[in-house]
Each structure stands twice: as C-alpha cells, then as structure tokens.
Structure 1
Amino acid sequence: MTVAVSSLKFLIWAVAVLVLVSGKRQKREYSVLSWNDCGGPDKVLHIESLSISPMPVILPGVMRITSSAHSSATISAASLELTIKRSTFLGYITVPCISNVGSCTYDDMCTLVDTMERENWAGISRQVSNQIRGFLQSAGISSTCPVPPSEINVTEYPFQMPELPSILNFLADGNYRVNFRIRDRSSHRVLGCFNVNMSLKKEETRGWFFFRRR
C-alpha cells in the first residue's frame, strides 16, 4: 500500500511538472500590466499606481517600473508569501518553489535582500538583490528593518531582468498571475496584499541564416 501511494504521488507530481513545462497558454499575452489591491481595511502597505514596460517582460532584458506607493506604519518584522500561477491548457497551475524561486514563503523580509545576495539562489538572486537594493536606495528606503512610514515615487526605473538558468527555463515564457502577501511575523496580520497579472517572454535571437529563434 505504501509503495502504491508513493507511486501515485510521484505520478501526480510528474504530470504537474509536464503541464508547467509544456502546457500551452490559454490566451494572448498581456499587453499591459494588470494589478489590484487585495489588502484588508487595516493594511499598512498601499499602492496607488503601478506599471511595467515592456509588456510582455523580455528575459533577459530591461524592465522599467513606474509606481507610486506608501506605507502608513513602521514595519519591524514581516514575512512574504509569494504565489505564482502559470497559464496552461488545464488552467492556471501553481509554480512550485524551486531553489527559493517560485511560489515560496520568505520568513524574514528584513534580511531577505542580504540573504538573496549571500546565497545567490539559482545563480540569479545576487544580481536581483543588488538591483532591489538600488531601487530602494533611490527612493530613500532602507532594505533592512525597522522601516518607518515611507513613500515611493519612481518613473521608469530600469531593472535588468536576468537570463534564467536551465532549471528555471520553463518559467521564461508564459502568462502569470502573482499574489504577494506580506504578514507581520508576530501577529500574522496581513500588512499588504497585491495581485499582478503579467506575461514573460524569452528574448528573440537570430541564429544561422538570420532565422529568429527563442
């Protein structure tokens, strides 16, 4: 019985991976970023506006962020719950957490940027962490805690999107629904919640005889 159950679990996992890797997208790529605020009445993180260009985001390539946001209270300790769903012919399927990339929970946002730099998850998080730190510094915000009430106003801030390693290559092309949920680590109160719908696309390159390949 144990062997049968284990085999069934492996089969389900294998099917899920195949769907993620080879599933066709259900609809056209997003041409503009779609987002909404899913936070409750006692939230402290607020986004007034958010846009990303180009859309789809090209990997690797430069993504430009324009946003206006603010926090209404000091944040001393918080966790980040990230849920990423990819469009397939079976609908939207949750992307697993692989090498700390994907649908993961990060227990300590106060040290997250430093941890990304130190551990260099999947060979890309060091580059991403340096850009996050630069983004926050440009807005006058510390990447460590506590973070006092702050405002962010940026226009077309350039963010270099890395080339994904082979283990994550299946993520480089598709339509995605992403949920960000930030919680206070002590009270588990939701400090902010945001949904983002977007598309990723592999950079087109030219191979032999100038044919485009992806």
Structure 2
Amino acid sequence: MELSLTASLLLSLLVAAVPQQVDCGSSGLKRVMRAQLLGFDWKNCGKPDAPAVLKTLAVSPDPIAIPGNLTASASGSTAVELAAPLAVNVTLEREVAGFWVTVPCLDELGSCHYQDGCQLLDQLIPPGQDCPEPLHSYGLPCRCPFKAGSYSLPKSDFYLPYVDLPHWLTNGNYRVQGVLGAGGKELGCLKIALSIHSE
C-alpha cells in the first residue's frame, strides 16, 4: 500500500486503539499522564492478490512511551489509485481471561465502520495545510487520492504527546484489524497487536 495510505490505515487503527487528544470534560474520558505500548506487532491480512500491501513496518523502542519519542520506518505499494470514498472497517479486540472479546463501537471508537477514511485524514490534516513531518520533507502525500505506486519512509523520529483515553480502554492486550475497501471490493487489510499499560 502506498506509504501515505499506510499512514492513513495506521491512523484509523490508532483512532480505534489510542484515541486522539480530546477535551477531558467529555463523558467517559480519563487523562493519562503516562502510558506504554508494549509488544507492537503487525501483519497483512488481505487476500493474496490484494492491491494494497504494507511491505515493511518497523517501530522502536519497545516499549513505546506516551508521551515520548518513536522511531519508525515503512514501505508499501498499491496497484490501484486509492480515492474517496475509501471505507475503513476497524475491529478492536481485548483479551479478557484468555479470550478475545470484540470491543463495540462507542463514540466512534472501537470496532467501527468509517465510510470514508479520506474524510478522517482531512479532519486530522485539513486540506491546504502542509503534510506533517517527516512526510513533507520526503515529498510523501497525506491526503486522498493516493496514486498507484511504491513508496517508502526512511527511519524517522516522531514525538507522541499525552492522550485522553476512554474509561473502557484499560491496561491489557489488544488486537486491531483494519480493512480498506472501495466500490464493494477489499483493497487491503492490516492487523496490529499490542499491550497497553497506563498510569
């Protein structure tokens, strides 16, 4: 999958697993001063002929501290242009007593269907605004449409700010799956596994 689409899917997955910073006065949110993401792992879960594929993704350190610094690199390709509307189906599971339980969609977080991932990107990075670093420096797009091709992000440093988490997102092991689709066809699928430890 094109790198920026990879970023789009990862953002969508992280929207489900680690919400964006929002007002603590909102119902059911708790301020998290420190958190750690441990055991980050990923894999493609699409069909063998899926047009959008993440080829490499490396993140460090382990554990990842929030707030804190993150180093990441990625590469991927897409055989077709990816344009709005780009559906994203997210499934979030939490391990409870040795069983994986699906977390329902609550306030647009959890196991949710997003009709257009392109609109999610526009909310995070408004049109007309430069793409965030390091995408901007490497000339990588951050909005739809994403042209067919292969892209890579060299090892780059990011800063992760503190977040406000919903009350149901507590310490534990999580699995997140994101499926991209358009016109009723699956374009790509990515699974992420991690553990959350917050204070």
Q: Using the alignment, how far apart are the partners of 1:173 and 1:59 within structure 2?
A: 14
Using the alignment, how far apart are the partners of 1:188 and 1:102 within structure 2? 22
For residues 34-62 of structure 1, the C-alpha deviation after alignment (integer angstroms, 9 at most, x for no partner) is 22211113311111111222233333333
- Which gives a bigger RCO, structure 1 or 2 (Cα 8 Å, sep 6+)? 2
Instruction: For 1:93-172, list aligned pairs within 5 A.
Output: 93-116=101-124, 133-134=132-133, 136-165=135-164, 168-171=166-169
* Residues 61 and 162, structure 1, Cα contact 8 Å, conserved in 2: yes
Unaligned runs of 5+ in 2: 1-35
Query: Aligned-residue CA RMSD in angstroms?
Result: 2.9
User: Aligned letter for 2:73?
Assistant: T
Count residues with an aligned counterpart: 161
Matched, 1:69 2:54: no
Q: TM-score, normalised by structure 1?
A: 0.62
Q: CA separation in 1, counterparts of 2:167 and 2:64?
A: 15
Partner of 2:193: 197
Q: 2:142 is aligned with what amino acid?
A: S
- Alpha-carbon distance in structure 1 between the residues aligned to 2:130 and 2:195: 21
Task: Select the structure that is richer in helix.
Answer: 1
TM-score between the two structures when normalised by the length of structure 2: 0.66
Which among 89, 99, 107 is matched to residue 81 of structure 1? 89
Deviation string, structure 1 residues 113-169 (Cα, Å, up to 9, x no partner): 123467xxxxxxxxxxx998545444533333221113332234333334332x515
Instruction: Quote the offset at 1:32 in angstroms.
Output: 4.3
Identical-pair percentage:
27
Contact 2:131 2:141 survives alignment (8 Å)? no
Q: What is the deviation of 1:179?
A: 0.5
Q: Which structure 1 residue ranges, 5 or more long, are not aligned?
A: 1-28, 119-129, 203-213
Cα distance between partner residues in 1 of 2:130 and 2:42? 22
Q: Which has the higher strand share?
A: 2
Q: 1:63: how far off?
A: 2.8
Q: Are residues 117 and 146 of structure 1, via their aligned partners in 2, closer, same or farther at CA, if it must alter by over 3 Å?
A: closer
Computing the radius of gyration from Cα coordinates, the structure with the larger value is 1
1:79 deviates by 0.8
Match of 2:180 in 1: 182
What secondary structure sits across from 1:40 in the alignment? coil
